[in-house]
Amino acid sequence: MSAESLHTDILNSLKTAILLIEPDLSVSYLNVSAETLLDSSGNKVLGEAISTLFSEQDGLIEGLNHNNAFTKREARLNLPGGRQITVDCAVSPTERGQMVMELQPLDRLLRINREEGLITSQQNTQALIRGLAHEIKNPLGGLRGAAQLLANELPSPELTDYTNIIIEEADRLGNLVDRMLGSNKLLNLQPVNIHEVLERVKALIIAETSGKIIIQRDYDPSIPELEGDKEQLIQATLNIVRNAMQALQHGGASEQPATITLKTRSMRQLTIGTVLHRLVCQVDIIDNGPGIQDDMLSKIFLPMVSGRAEGTGLGLAISQSIINHHKGLIECTSEPGNTVFSLYIPLEHA
């Protein structure tokens, strides 16, 4: 084996994507990991400009012109097919005036870190709410009981209006705490067709809006049944779709008709938190409303956080809790005209 072949074999065995860039910014070599990461075959791009492989807004390509070593952390690259990836990039010059570019993909790592943060936040929030619920409901029970005893001792029936207010407000606060805690019922696990869940939600939203919002479907009929609680999955999905409906109704005028898209896909070898699942059902709920502000996006799954004055801020928190109980997770990305809530539910028995 020649030295050149040996070097090529070594480079192709690396998990790091390696590219060799000529002074005119054309690509003269990329290893197998680079072909996989950039969705490009070496035979198609050799001799082509680096811009045929990707475009970016972090000054990465511009930095190549200076022929100096540099590093870009979490650079976002736009591939020709529309896919966007996040990488750490290191560029080093060679004695021949070429540049060696190393790309380390970060999307999987960032996703795992983000999901761990979501799950940890959800667990911490639930623990805090359980503690608060205990401290609130105990004195509420005493307050309600005292009001009932006081009502029996009042000399005038008209005065019971005041004790009734105390009892009703104590009940209202108790119900609010129960809703924050979510359902304490065990999951009634049965084989569930996710499309039956979505069709039920679709019918409810059409009835609530009198058909004024367009509901589009983009289903993958090959998705097998999952083990889940059908009624709770309907509730979790309905909360999110109702949020989308309300965003569209209060989002102001738009040139495009108000539309919600229900999309399903199956994902293989997907990590949720720290657990790798062989097969996962992905449900995307997409709306073309005004979007969610950046400062709200990181908090929308917390209880009592709402972007609407009349909102309780419990719907999304309850949905996240339900999907967590199914060993899944909900994520959200948003920009004006395109808000996507993605539900990931493992298909462990598929």
- What is the per-residue pLDDT for 309? 47
User: Residues 36, 15: contact at Cβ < 8 Å?
Assistant: no
Phi, psi values for residue 186, rounded to 5°: -65, 150
- What is the per-residue pLDDT for 87? 84
Q: Mean of the per-residue pLDDT values for the chain?
A: 81
pLDDT digits (tens, 9 = 90+) for 328-349: 888 888 888 899 999 999 997 5
Q: pLDDT confidence of 261, banded at 50, 70, 90?
A: very high
The residue length of the chain stands at 350
CA distances 282 to 83, 115, 172, 175, 325, Å, are 18, 15, 36, 32, 16
Domains and CATH numbers, the chain: 3-105 (3.30.450.20), 109-181 (1.10.287), 190-346 (3.30.565.10)
* Residue 69 or residue 310, greater confidence: 69
State both tokens at 117. 């943060």
Calpha distance 331→218 (Å, rounded): 19
- What is the per-residue pLDDT for 350? 47
pLDDT digits (tens, 9 = 90+) for 73-122: 888 888 877 777 888 888 888 888 888 888 888 776 666 666 666 667 76
pTM: 0.61
Mean pLDDT of all residues in 33-62:
77
Q: pLDDT confidence of 260, banded at 50, 70, 90?
A: very high
pLDDT digits (tens, 9 = 90+) for 193-251: 999 999 999 999 988 888 788 999 999 999 999 999 998 899 899 999 999 998 888 76
pLDDT digits (tens, 9 = 90+) for 158-175: 778 888 888 888 888 777
Task: Using alpha carbons, select from 186, 148, 197, 341 the residue that is nearest to residue 261.
Answer: 341
User: Residues 79, 54: contact at Cβ < 8 Å?
Assistant: yes
Contacts of 169-176 with CB under 8 Å at 24 or more apart are 170/140, 170/143, 170/144, 171/144, 173/136, 173/140, 174/137, 174/140, 176/312
